Amino acid sequence: MNILLERLAGVAARRHWVFIIAWVIILGGLLAAKNAFGGEYVNNYTVSGSNSAAGQNLVNSTFPQQGGYGGQIVFHATQGTVTAQQSAVNQSVSNVAKLPDVIKAVSPFASPSTGAVSTNGTIAYASVSWSVNPNTLETSYLDKLNNAVAPATKAGLQVAYGAGAGQIGQTTSDTKSEVIGLACALVLLLIMFWSLIAAAIPLVSAIFSVLTGLALLALLAKVITFPTTAPTIATLLGLGVAVDYGLFMVARHREQLDTGMSVVRSIRRAAGTSGAAIVVAGSTVAVSVLALYISGVGFVGALGLAAALVVVVTMICALTLVPAFMGLVKEGVRALTARVRAHKERLSAQQQAAQTAAATHEQHEHSAFARWGRMVSAHPWPWGVASVVVLLVLAIPLFSITLGQPDNGTNPTSESSRQAYDLISQGFGVGVNGPLTVVVKLPNQSSSANSSLLSTMQSDISKTAGVASVTPAAINSSGTTAVLNVIPTTRPQAPQTTALVKTLRDDVLPKEHATSYVTGTTAGAVDFTDKIASRLPWLILAVVALSFILLTVAFRSVVIATKAAVLNILSIGAAYGVIVAIFEWGWAKSVIGLQSTLPIPAYVPMLVFCIVFGLSMDYEVFLLSRVHEAWLDTGDAHRAVAIGIGATARVITTAAAIMIVVFTSFVINPNPIVKMLAIGMAFAVLIDASLARMCLVPSVMSLLGPHAWWMPRWLEPVVPRIALEGSPAESAEPERIIR
């Protein structure tokens, strides 16, 4: 692999304009194709084979008038009553019923028994169902909906869209987050390199790779259903890894230039070392996020596919476009101060390299970072134990985690869906925001027997703790299916509502000898959470096992792979604790613009584990590859740790800081789930790059000594050789200064 990467980078460096123009053409073509043929992003939480999915399928096939995707249009009279504007409300609902994809729209005044008008008459809501998921409807449809309810707004009523209706035309832009993240990354890169050219290469390549990945994702969305958050998560992860991969390549290249290597040879060598590490690290990230398909839920698996797609593109870009840029700028990646000094002192490149080479080697072994590594290695037990204690303390909130699906009550108050939620809660109780639908497959009996069955069911359901009300059963024309609407006493995301769903399914409905289901958005969220929670241990096991295999191959050591798995699990556990403390306990929630606490969506721990476990391997690979190089050169385990940290700590610290600022920039996204992922991943990287890499790794490596590189003899011939320290052929080349 190393030889292949070196040859590819060498060609890219020599034929840099060919590669750069090729990337421009590819990106331009994909962006044009995206605009012409790109698909839509849709949230589909349906769990195939679940109770809620089976019930929804039965309703859609036998009783379509009661099926579809539900939503609410809420009318609020800030002065007087809604009843006084009944004609305006009825006209608005009639207009909505004529819109495309609307199955039915029921006015709150259609019947006195609807219960859709509050007791004080100031709040009322219309029930609307669509034949398509409302979140697939674009802004143009929202304009039509606004025009349809114009009679009510002209009458002075406040109109808000709740449930599925609140998702119509809701698009968020990540542009502000991207600009902030890239601007902060530029500052950090300038501090790192003291060269605008060197700093620009990782940023420009990141823009190329992320835009290319997102264009491919949009085209793929034409044939595969991706969630609405897929582009955001792909961008968040893609920007972070793309800048980091470019940084590692440029840093290694510039270091080698400072030791006297020629430009082309240095680029080849950087590809054979840092490039090989990028392949291992990027493959680990891609494999980790693709493991989300183990969840058994298409929604979650598609998030992993989106992230993996962008990560793979960033790897390809780092191995082709970055070498092309480095070949284009030649010596321009070196620090401006070094180039100015060489010009003033009239030093040749070879003469200056002789000076800087000694300084570089000195820095690796005697810099502040190297001294830190030597200090930790000299006292491994205190540093190791203290780091583990800190990680365990941070993980304490994890043990009180509540998994669930947030409802509209967690959205910002500026959004229509949140306003509708609050109005419904005020006028009718929080349970109306998440009604349950009981679907009954009627036995082949007389209508009187069916009526008796449904009457008994209604009575049993109404007596169940946690039920506020039950509507009389609606029966389809063929008499085969009945539907009862159940209003809980608690909000959709409450644990009591989850318990009610399970009680109805397990205890109440089975009393009657009829096939029945509990469905609807809230019941579907319960099934979604249960499915993912049951698969989470298997996913963790799979990701750890796959990463173990990759690291064993990379370093030919089962000890290194085991150590990495254990330390990463500790770091991720601490990140989980921070997520729970902020989003569930509410610590410092106002700082990130969170207006209310919320349960942790089941797929967030799964997603954070896969992404962060993969990202942790980035730093593991880049640090330990240099430690391994030093170990092969010196045979001294303690000295190898100091040299490895001295050679990589500045780069890894900068890379981690870039990841943190990129992730944190997405906190301004109004979606609380995006905030959760951004905070979780930022803290995980912070913990990993500080406690894990700077304290735990040197402590453990020092304690292990030569045993860190142990491999069972029977595995030696089985495991392929990657050699992250570069190919022997490249290493054996004579030193030449060829510009």
DSSP 31-64: HHHHHHH----------TTSHHHHHHHHHHHH-G
At residue 577, the pLDDT reads: 95
CB 175 within 8 A of CB 425: no
Q: CA torsion 89→94→99→102, rounded to 10°?
A: 100
CB 295 within 8 A of CB 532: yes
End-to-end CA distance of the chain: 26
Which tokens belong to 336? 């401006």
At residue 347, the pLDDT reads: 57
Other CB atoms within 10 Å distance of the CB of residue 471 = 17
Strand partners, 483: 439, 474
Domain 68-167 CATH class label: alpha beta
Architecture of domain 367-401+534-722: Up-down Bundle (1.20)
367-401+534-722 matches 1-37+194-364 in CATH topology: yes
In angstroms, rounded to a whole number, what is the distance separating the alpha carbons of residues 72 and 81? 19
CB 220 within 8 A of CB 202: no
In angstroms, rounded to a whole number, what is the distance separating the alpha carbons of residues 389 and 551? 26
Which tokens belong to 297? 């839920």
Q: Which sequence spans correspond to the domains of the chain? A: 1-37+194-364, 68-167, 367-401+534-722, 420-526
* pLDDT, mean of each 10-residue run, the chain (739 residues): 89 96 97 92 84 92 87 94 95 96 93 86 94 85 95 96 88 83 92 90 96 96 90 91 92 84 91 86 87 90 95 96 95 71 58 57 69 86 94 95 90 91 95 93 82 93 95 90 95 94 95 91 92 92 86 85 88 93 93 90 90 78 80 80 83 89 91 91 89 88 87 84 55 39
Helices (H), 149-229: 150-154, 175-193, 196-220
Domain 1-37+194-364 CATH class label: mainly alpha
Place of tokens 């397990």: 506
Largest CA distance in the chain: 104
Which tokens belong to 32? 């044009």
Q: Which listed CATH number (3.90.380.10, 3.90.1150.10, 3.30.70.1430, 3.40.50.11030) goes with 420-526?
A: 3.30.70.1430
Q: 111: which residues sit within 8 A by CB, 6+ positions away?
A: none
CB 266 within 8 A of CB 331: no
CB 339 within 8 A of CB 330: no
CB 356 within 8 A of CB 334: no
The 3-state DSSP class for residue 444 equals: coil
At residue 353, the pLDDT reads: 58
At residue 731, the pLDDT reads: 44
At residue 331, the pLDDT reads: 83
Strand partners, 289: none
Q: CA torsion 204→207→213→219, rounded to 10°?
A: -120
